[in-house]
Each structure stands twice: as structure tokens, then as C-alpha cells.
Amino acid sequence: MTENKEKKVLTFYEKLTELQNKLNVPKLQQNKYGGFNYRSCEDILEAVKPLLKEYKMSLTIKDELVLIGARYYVKAIVTLGNLSGSGQETVTAYAREEEVKKGMDGSQITGASSSYARKYALNGLFLIDDAKDSDATSDGKQKAKPVESKTITPEITANCEDCGVGIPLVVEEWSKKNYAGKKYCRSCQAKHKDEATD
């Protein structure tokens, strides 16, 4: 005899709570310079995708370039949505772009900042605790901040109209919006700040 049991329909926050409890992302990456293990943004995404399918949820990530004072920050915006009903949760995180980083060009610096901001936005959304990470519990002995060895390098979509260097989409869009349609790299934006529309 077959029992006809109706499956309980979970609310958005019930789904999110179950997903948070099921998600397991071990620290499989190793930072040889800092001597610690960590998880990357890519590791989190790889682990969460099967759970998104199971709970009929969607995840979107986008970046915005934000100028705060004289420094640029990458703002990562992570949004979790419900495919089988209503409900949505958005978490943001910021990472400051270094002006210069040895061995990296401007697009790689932006990519590293994007990866870092995205990782911490995902951590906040899915309650992933990085309290034991080296960058969260510095004992003061390590002077240089560790850099993850895996980075996302944004696709170059245009060349700077001033110096000709390749620029990623986020920089291109911000420049066109704030410099009357002109495509400037970050360095040339500073040179042409008198042209800025804001």
C-alpha cells in the first residue's frame, strides 16, 4: 500500500537555513607564503551549486567599482533568489584595490579585489566562518597580508582612450558614466578628474 504524503513546501528562509546547514566548503587551497589553508570564491561556488539545484534557488553575483575618498573599492553584490516562490536575500562586501601590486597589472588587481569581495559576500550569505583564517587572526608577526594564489582576471573589453591600456568592463562602464562617455583606465581617470561629471 502506497502512502500519499504531501511534501512540505519550504519558505525562502527555511530553504536558506537548510542550505546554510548543509553547505560544507573545506579549505583545500594553500597559501605557501603565509603557511595557511583557505577556501576560494570558486570553491564556495562549486560546493553551493548542487544545493541551489536541490532547493530550487538562484544565485547571482555582480561587481561595482566604488570610489571612496581617493581609493577604489570593488563592491561585490550576491543575491540569492527563490525559483519556486517569493523571497530574496542580498549581501554585499567590499575589497579595496591596491594602487600597485608587484607582478600584477591593473586588471589583475581589480580581479583579485573582485574575488576577495565576492568570497566574503558569499561567506556572509551562507554563514561560512573564516574566523580562523590567517587574515582574520593576525598575531602581528606577519607583516605582509597574504594574497590568495587563485584570482579571477576580468575580461578586457576596451582600451583606454588616453594611454591605450586594456581595461575591464567594470572600469569601462564606470568611466563612461562619469567621464561623458570616455573610456579611461583608472590611472587616466585620475589624470582627467577635472572632466568628471560628478
**Host domain of residue 51:** 9-133+148-154
Q: Identify the pLDDT of residue 147.
A: 41
Name the 3-class secondary structure at 23. Answer: coil
Q: Which amino acid is at 143?
A: K
Say if residue 163 is in the same domain as residue 72.
no
- One DSSP character per residue, 30-96 reads EETTTTEEE--HHHHHHHHHHHHHHTTEEEEEEEEEEEETTEEEEEEEEEEEETTSS-EEEEEEEEE
Q: Tens digit of pLDDT for each residue in 83-103?
A: 988 999 999 999 886 665 555
Q: Identify the pLDDT of residue 90.
A: 96
Say if residue 105 is in the same domain as residue 171.
no
Say if residue 15 is in the same domain as residue 108.
yes
Neighbours of 145 (CB within 10 A): 10
Nearest to 178 by CA among 160, 157, 195: 195
Predicted TM-score (pTM) of the model is 0.60
pLDDT of 146 over the 50 cut: no
Domain count along the chain:
2
Q: Tens digit of pLDDT for each residue in 17-56?
A: 999 999 999 998 888 888 888 899 999 999 999 999 999 9
**Distance between CA 142 and CA 31 in Å, rounded?**
13
